[in-house]
């Protein structure tokens, strides 16, 4: 199995890179953001529970997120591997993911951080605002999500660097070149 975590702030290009990697390595893509959006769109009990917090751009609680993630992993017993996108976002989630992998006799092999600075992602939003000529509610939410990333989620990185699983890739530049850098890391 090959199990990887793709890390990076909103707007770093995680979605694009995930698509390329799941195709190349035949991985099951698990994005907790996509799962939560599916639940809210379909008004499931879980969706109703998390709608407000998601709309605020804050993080859903660890127990809810971990339970949903576990269920999704367990739905795919024959997977060649998993690509986790948007999870873990807290140390408790990272620990729970290690425990889950261990219970399946496997592990998280590599964690790729797509590095884009806070200034750069915020500049991109400011530029978009200028171009559209108005401040958008969606932009405010995005700024909140970016703040959450740089205030909370980045604290997960030492958890993985201490166990030698973290590699940082420059997230600014040519998309195909970034993919090649990631593939190089995963193949070695
Ligand atoms: P994303 O598309 O990954 O940015 O996720 C969208 C929203 O879903 C986030 O702003 C959070 O409210 C929620 N969410 C997604 N993944 C997680 C996670 N691992 N932990 C807590 N909340 C999450």
Beta strand ranges found along 89-171 (DSSP E): 110-115, 166-170
Domain spans in the chain, listed from the N-terminal domain onward: 2-187
Mutate to test the pocket of ligand 1, among 9, 33, 62, 64 (most ligand atoms within 8 A of CB): 33
Mutate to test the pocket of ligand 1, among 60, 67, 97, 147 (most ligand atoms within 8 A of CB): 60
- Ligand 1 in contact with 59 (CB < 6 A)? yes
Task: Please give the CATH topology (third level) of the domain spanning 2-187.
Answer: Rossmann fold (3.40.50)
Higher-confidence position of 122 and 136: 122
Nearest CA-CA partner of 17 in 153, 177, 188: 177
- Ligand 1 in contact with 54 (CB < 6 A)? yes
Share of the chain above pLDDT 70, in %: 97
- Ligand 1 in contact with 87 (CB < 6 A)? yes
- Counting beta carbons within 10 angstroms of the beta carbon of residue 47, is it exposed (0 to 12), middle (13 to 18) or buried (19 or more)? middle
Rounded Cα distance between 52 and 41, Å, is 13
Residues with active-site annotation: 14, 89, 128, 134, 145
Is residue 182 a contact partner of residue 169, using CB atoms and an 8 Å limit?
yes
- Ligand 1 in contact with 17 (CB < 6 A)? no
Q: Could you give the count of Cα atoms lying within 13 Å of 42 in the half-sphere of its Cβ?
A: 9
Indicate which residue's Cα is closest to atom 5 of ligand 1. 33
- Ligand 1 in contact with 142 (CB < 6 A)? no
pTM, to two decimals: 0.93
Is residue 157 a contact partner of residue 7, using CB atoms and an 8 Å limit?
yes
Prior bond to 88 cis, omega within 30?
Answer: yes
Rounded Cα distance between 73 and 81, Å, is 10
Q: What is the pLDDT of residue 160?
A: 97
Q: What is the pLDDT of residues 90-134, one digit of tens each?
A: 999 999 999 999 999 999 999 999 999 999 988 877 887 788 776
**Token pair for 59:** 């993080």
């Amino acid at each position: 199995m090959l199990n990887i975590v793709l890390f990076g702030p909103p707007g770093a290009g995680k979605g694009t890179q995930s698509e390329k990697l799941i195709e190349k390595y035949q991985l099951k893509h698990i994005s907790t953001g996509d799962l939560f959006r599916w639940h809210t769109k379909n008004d499931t009990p879980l969706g109703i529970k998390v709608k407000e917090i998601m709309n605020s751009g804050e993080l859903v609680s660890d127990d809810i997120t971990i339970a949903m993630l576990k269920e999704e992993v367990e739905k795919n017993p024959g997977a060649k591997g998993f690509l986790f996108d948007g999870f873990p976002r807290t140390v408790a989630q990272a620990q729970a993911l290690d425990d889950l992998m261990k219970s399946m006799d496997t592990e998280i092999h590599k964690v790729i951080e797509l590095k884009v600075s806070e200034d750069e992602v915020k500049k991109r939003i400011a530029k978009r605002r200028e171009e559209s000529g108005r401040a958008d509610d969606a932009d405010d939410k995005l700024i909140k999500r970016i703040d959450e990333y740089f205030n909370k989620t980045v604290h997960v990185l030492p958890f993985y660097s201490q166990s030698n699983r973290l590699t940082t890739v420059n997230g600014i530049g040519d998309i195909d070149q970034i993919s090649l850098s990631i593939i190089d890391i995963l193949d070695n």
